[in-house]
Amino acid sequence: MEFSRDFIALACRRGALRFGSFVTKAGRSSPYFFNAGLFDDGASFNALCGFYARTIRASGVAFDMLFGPAYKGIPLVAGTAMRLAEKGMNAPFAFNRKEAKDHGEGGMLIGAPLGGRVLIVDDVISAGTSVRESVEIIRAHGGVPAGVVIALDRMERGRGDASALQEVNQAYGIPVLAVSSLDDLISYLDGDPELAVNLAAVQAYREMYGTCAIL
C-alpha cells in the first residue's frame, strides 16, 4: 500500500523501529526491532491509528465492530475506532481485561457487546497467542472473528515453513491485514541514504528466516 512507506518513516523517527542486534521471542538475532508502545504522544499515536484505519478501509474486509486484546490492543482499538469514525465508519469497539473485575460493572469485557463480525486490532503477531485468546473470547460471546489488523508483518517463519500470520489464516480462516511488511521495510531502506547501512543485514535475515508474503 502506498502509505506503508509513510508509516515506516514515522516509526523510524519515533524510534519505534530500531536497527542493531535484538533477540526475538523465538531466540533469533534480528537486525531490527519494532515497538508500537513508543508511539507515546498524542500526535504520533493519532498518526499510527490513522494508518490502521487506512489499512482497514483499503482492505475492504467486512466487519461490524472492533476488538482490542489487552494490553497494547486497548488504546489501539479505541484510537482506530476514532480515526475510522472521522471517515464515516462509526464502528463500536470493545476490549478485555487480563483479570475479571468483581465490582462495579464486573466481568472481563469493556465497551460494546461482542457480536457480529469482529475485527481484532493488535500491534504485532509473534506466536499467535493473543489472536487465539481473542478468537476464543469473541466466539464465547457469540461473535464471529472477521480478521486481524497489525502494524508490521515480519514475514518470517514460525516453527514450520509458514509464518505466524499464515498460521493464523490457516487455523481460523480469517485474513491478517498489516500496515506494512518486511518487504516494505527493505524497499524503504534501499531508498534512504542514512538507513541503507542496515539493508544488507535485514536482507540476510529475510533470506535466513523469511517466508512468502502474507495471505
pLDDT in tens, 70-123: 999 999 999 999 999 999 999 999 999 877 655 445 578 999 999 999 999 999
- pLDDT of res. 97: 87
CATH number at 107 reads: 3.40.50.2020
Rounded mean pLDDT, 180-189: 95
CA 7, chain centre distance (Å): 13
Residue 176 inside a domain? The answer is yes
| Longest CA pairwise span in the chain (Å) | 56
Residue 79 inside a domain? The answer is yes
Question: Which residues are designated catalytic?
Answer: 101, 103
Residue 214 inside a domain? The answer is no
CA atoms within 13 A on the CB side of 158: 13
Residue 215 inside a domain? The answer is no
Q: Which of 18-27, 41-50, 64-73, 132-141 has the lowest mean pLDDT?
A: 18-27
Residue 84 inside a domain? The answer is yes
Using the Cα atoms of residue 149, residue 185, residue 60 and residue 212 in order, give the sign of their dihedral.
negative
Residue 114 inside a domain? The answer is yes
**Neighbour-count burial for 159-174, b at 16+ CB within 10 Å, e otherwise:** eeebbbbbbbbeebeb
pLDDT tops 50 at residue 214: no
- The tens digit of pLDDT for each residue in 147-170 reads 999 999 988 887 677 887 888 888
- The tens digit of pLDDT for each residue in 11-45 reads 999 999 999 999 987 788 999 999 999 999 999 99
- pLDDT of res. 135: 94
Residue 50 inside a domain? The answer is yes
Work out the mean pLDDT of the chain and round it to a whole number.
91
Total count of domains within the chain:
1
Contact call for residues 124 and 150 (beta carbons, < 8 A): yes
pTM of the model: 0.91
Domain that holds residue 16: 4-209
pLDDT tops 90 at residue 130: no
Residue 178 inside a domain? The answer is yes
